[in-house]
Structure 1
Amino acid sequence: MATTLRPTLPGLTTSLGLLLLTGAAALLLAAPIRRPAPAVPLPQTAIVPPATLLHRLDGEYSRAGRPVDAPRVTVTIREPLEIMRYQVTAADYARCIAAGACKRLDSPAPRGDLPATGVSHADATDYAAWLTRETHAVWRLPTDREWAHAAGSRLVDDARGLDADARNPARRWLADYEREANRKAASDPAPRPVGSFGANEHGVHDIAGNVWEWTQTCLRRVSQDAAGRTTGETSNCGIYVVEGQHRAPMTFFIRNPKSGGCSVGTPPDNLGFRLVREHNWRDHLPAGLNRLLPV
């Protein structure tokens, strides 16, 4: 039997393979990859532009053993901040419960357009993790500094304005009493539908209303000497800062602020939250390449 010999062309074969692979990659980059739409609607957000602001630091400060106001410092926010326009609503939170990703609340709100309240720090972080999975975007609680930046002109500076060198404790007691009396007189504990307190200059609604909001900032205790130099600092990440009509430290598992968790002063009326959308390196990739990456 005659055998036909066919010459092999390894160079041609290799070049043809590379050409086919290159063409396939180009088609993948050009062709839109359809992903399922998020199972939940994306929250409405506001973009707070970078700015330099005078910010009272978080934490409990003492000077030479006496309580003093935290110092105010100049803070520069270098990147835009994307934050929810509204607090997470009862209807939003109910979706997370229905998905089995959030724990049921002790006292669910009677209406879906009310803020989700009676929420612990752990509940809020569970919701953020669930929303991240559902929307393919990274959501988290704001820091105390980010929250203050988003609050803008609505931020309440509740410093007592005491002389750090005052040796008469009665001055501090009287100042505390006056502040707490004013808070109680202005307090309206019933949560209102989202949007009831209006928007600030950044388009952020209801900030510093009657719902206090969790942050991811841990409680700091700072000791200073008589000259104002820091002599010691401790951080407790079982307690977090909540922001609203005033700052308050709150234990992470507390849902009802009246039951405890606030070390001093009038406890918050309601505990709720809103989230920040975090931008990462994927947001800066070309759209075609981003579509090829796993979620």
Structure 2
Amino acid sequence: MAATLRPTLPGLTTSLGLLFMAGAAALLMAAPIRRPAPNLPLAQTAIVPATTLLHRLDGEYSRAGRPVDAPRVEINIREPLEIMRYQVSAAEYARCVAAGACTPLDSPALRGDLAVTGVSHLDASDYARWLSRETGATWRLPTDREWAQAAGSRFIDDARGLSGGETNPALRWLADYEREANRKAASNPAPRPVGSFGANEYGVYDIAGNIWEWTQTCLRRVSLDAAGRTVGETSNCGIYIVEGQHRAPMTFFIRNPKAGGCSVATPPDNLGFRLVRERSWRDRLPASFIRRLPA
């Protein structure tokens, strides 16, 4: 009897394994996804379509030892982007502080409808982790390119006209500093209620207003030869790019940009942030298939 059964056991085991795997897969597809009920209002988001950008690359570039503007290249972005319509507000950040998940601010805003400012990269990252836990979705800071995608026509190309052939590059830096200083003198840098600077063509508000936004892009320093070929590149992830009316590299723990951390142009007026919501596997399924799945 044993001799008769022995040859059939491998086939039987394989069949049972396949049946078990198929049953488990069916249960997984049929069971609703358990997400924690959010204890806070859900953030309003905008869907920015896939696009092709003529984009000034991030980073500090030099040619033959002299500073030059970063190359401007065409970038094909194939995926849409879901991003917060508004910068995170003071009231929203205060909820994270109250939950013990975010560090209290040095100078909290007097009004909850103001965009939160005085936040470091660490603070913004802590908030993203907390919001992800609270909502069951994955929230994170945008990359430099994603921020440019969301900014659309409001992205400011802040090239300084540096070609590497200047006999005294310091003159260009001084002119740039004077331009930014005059802009600051003519504007009010005080944070304003969210939405004060209006929406762009994608329904994203306050892009390139008076609050610079943290990204997850690390500072790059790129060296080019006389022909424009890259001969060296270093990346420093203790410094991140912040985006606004101009790009600025900022040390990850800096809350007040006037305290240091910006090596190009004048410091940003304020440091704040908004987050990207990553698409889940369900977001990538056809709508007709999603309608057949349990809620």
Per the TM superposition, whether the score is higher than 0.5 is yes
2: distance between equivalents of 1:33 and 1:249? 40
1:59 paired residue number: 59
2:194 paired residue number: 194
2:117 paired residue number: 117
2: distance between equivalents of 1:25 and 1:78? 30
1:243 paired residue number: 243
Root-mean-square deviation (CA), in Å? 2.6
1:73 paired residue number: 73
2: distance between equivalents of 1:221 and 1:34? 44
**Secondary structure of residue in 1 paired with 2:54:** strand
1: distance between equivalents of 2:236 and 2:255? 19
Q: 1:29 to 1:138 in 2, by over 3 A?
A: closer
Q: CA deviation at 1:41?
A: 1.7
1:130 paired residue number: 130
- TM-score w.r.t. the length of structure 2 is 0.84
1:26-65 matches, within 5 Å, as: 37-65=37-65
2: distance between equivalents of 1:170 and 1:251? 24
1:224 paired residue number: 224
| Aligned 8 A contact 2:282 2:290 in 1 | no
1:207 paired residue number: 207
1:247-262 matches, within 5 Å, as: 247-262=247-262
Q: CA deviation at 1:26?
A: 7.5
Consecutive unaligned residues of structure 2, counting only runs of 5 or more, are 1-18
Consecutive unaligned residues of structure 1, counting only runs of 5 or more, are 1-17
1:153 paired residue number: 153
| Aligned 8 A contact 1:184 1:266 in 2 | no
1:234 paired residue number: 234
1:169 paired residue number: 169
**Secondary structure of residue in 2 paired with 1:160:** coil
Q: Extract structure 1 runs of 4+ deviating beyond 3 A.
A: 24-36, 168-171, 282-292
Q: CA deviation at 1:189?
A: 1.5
1: distance between equivalents of 2:26 and 2:232? 59
**Secondary structure of residue in 2 paired with 1:194:** coil
Q: CA deviation at 1:279?
A: 1.0
2: distance between equivalents of 1:117 and 1:37? 28
Whose Rg is larger? 1
> Which amino acid is 2:227 matched to?
A
Q: CA deviation at 1:183?
A: 3.0
2:87 paired residue number: 87
| Aligned 8 A contact 2:177 2:266 in 1 | no
Q: CA deviation at 1:65?
A: 0.9
- How many residues in Structure 1 have an aligned counterpart in Structure 2? 272
> Which amino acid is 2:93 matched to?
Y
2: distance between equivalents of 1:206 and 1:180? 19
- TM-score w.r.t. the length of structure 1 is 0.84
